[in-house]
Amino acid sequence: MLQKPRAHGRPCAQAERECGDPGEEAPSTSRGATGSSQGSRASLAAPAIGQRTQKQLDLKVAELVQFLLIKDQKKIPIKRTDILKHVVVDYRDVYSTLLKLAAERLQYVFGYKLVELEPKSNTYILINSLEPVEEDAEVRGDQGTPTTGLLMIILGLIFMKGNTITETEVWDFLRRLGVYPTKKHLIFGDPKKLITEDFVRQRYLEYRKIPHTDPVDYELQWGPRTHLETSKMKVLKFVAKVHNQDPKDWPTQYCEALADEENRARPASSGPASSS
């Protein structure tokens, strides 16, 4: 039988906040320096740099993996500063190693790729290495997100209109589907907030004011997460399906999508696929 970490183990920083005094034997990996003695609890006290046990490192990586999974579940891009503050704490010196190990585990165990949102942004998201399948929806526990439908429509709209669209055009289109900026929607709730705030915060969309417009108008484009999670070809196929047509029926967009596919297929130099 293997040796599980003893029940007192509480490496999660949140846990400490909630439970108050954790008791004597808490192999927490992140303690404020407590003038550690290198005595019998050497492996458990706040370690000097480089004197951490393998187990402590393993626990740290485990914490980091969980942290990344939870944050990504909410579609919040994960900032390096958050990682340092909430998980890595006093293991800053090995931050890169921890992140690398966490990324490895995420890929091997869960099939998620840890990817930087934009080169050098130090902000990360998880991309699914597995291709989602329609039947997944039947066995999921979280009903997916009903808002995904609306997002797909907007992404399709943006692409088909040449990769940028004004907010006015968006509402003109959505009105025809019974979706209004000022009216609560049965499925989408507050569509205006969804489109101009939530999707933007999740980095699916970019939302920018168009200067010198009166009344003021905004432009919408694909955000970095969209470029990473899907592709022009996939979106074009979606649009084609909705219209019960073939992607080739839109030659301009089809060519653009093909070029994008070629771009993606080229071996990645270092960073993630860049926007066209």
Is the Cβ of residue 61 or residue 165 nearer to other proteins in the bound state? Answer: 61
Minimal distance in Å, beta carbon 122 to other proteins?
11
Among 47, 191, 224, 272, binds other proteins (CB under 8 A): 272
Scan residues 17-76 and list those touching other proteins (CB under 8 A): 18-19, 23, 53-55, 58-59, 61-63, 65-66, 69-70, 74
Among 24, 135, 214, 262, binds other proteins (CB under 8 A): 135
Token pair for 161:
């209109």
Which range, of 8-16, 32-40, 175-183, 201-209, touches other proteins by CB under 8 A?
A: 8-16
Q: How far is CA 223 from CA 85, 181, 192, 264, in A?
A: 26, 21, 17, 17
Helical H runs in the chain?
13-19, 54-73, 80-83, 95-105, 136-139, 147-160, 167-175, 191-193, 199-201, 224-229, 232-242, 251-265
Is the Cβ of residue 105 or residue 237 nearer to other proteins in the bound state? Answer: 105
Residue 5 as a binder of other proteins (CB under 8 A): the answer is yes
Among 140, 183, 209, 248, binds other proteins (CB under 8 A): 140
Scan residues 193-232 and list those touching other proteins (CB under 8 A): none
Residue 184 as a binder of other proteins (CB under 8 A): the answer is no
| Short-list 245, 271, 264, 263, CA closest to 156 | 245
Contact between residue 161 and residue 183 where contact means Cβ atoms under 8 Å apart: no
Minimal distance in Å, beta carbon 50 to other proteins?
17
Q: In angstroms, rounded to a whole number, what is the distance separating the alpha carbons of residues 121 and 173?
A: 34
What x/- string results for residues 115 through 134 when contact with other proteins is judged by CB under 8 A?
A: xx----------xxxx--x-
Contact between residue 224 and residue 199 where contact means Cβ atoms under 8 Å apart: no
Q: Is 176 exposed, middle or buried (0-12, 13-18, 19+ CB in 10 A)?
A: exposed
The DSSP code sequence of 193-256 is: HIIIIIHHHTTSEEEEEETT-SS-EEEEEE-HHHHHH--HHHHHHHHHHHTTS-GGGSHHHHHH
Is the Cβ of residue 100 or residue 209 nearer to other proteins in the bound state? Answer: 100
Among 75, 79, 113, 185, binds other proteins (CB under 8 A): 113
Residue 267 as a binder of other proteins (CB under 8 A): the answer is yes
Binding site for other proteins (CB under 8 A): 2-5, 7-12, 14-15, 18-19, 23, 53-55, 58-59, 61-63, 65-66, 69-70, 74, 99-101, 103-105, 107-116, 127-130, 133, 135-136, 138-142, 267-268, 270-272
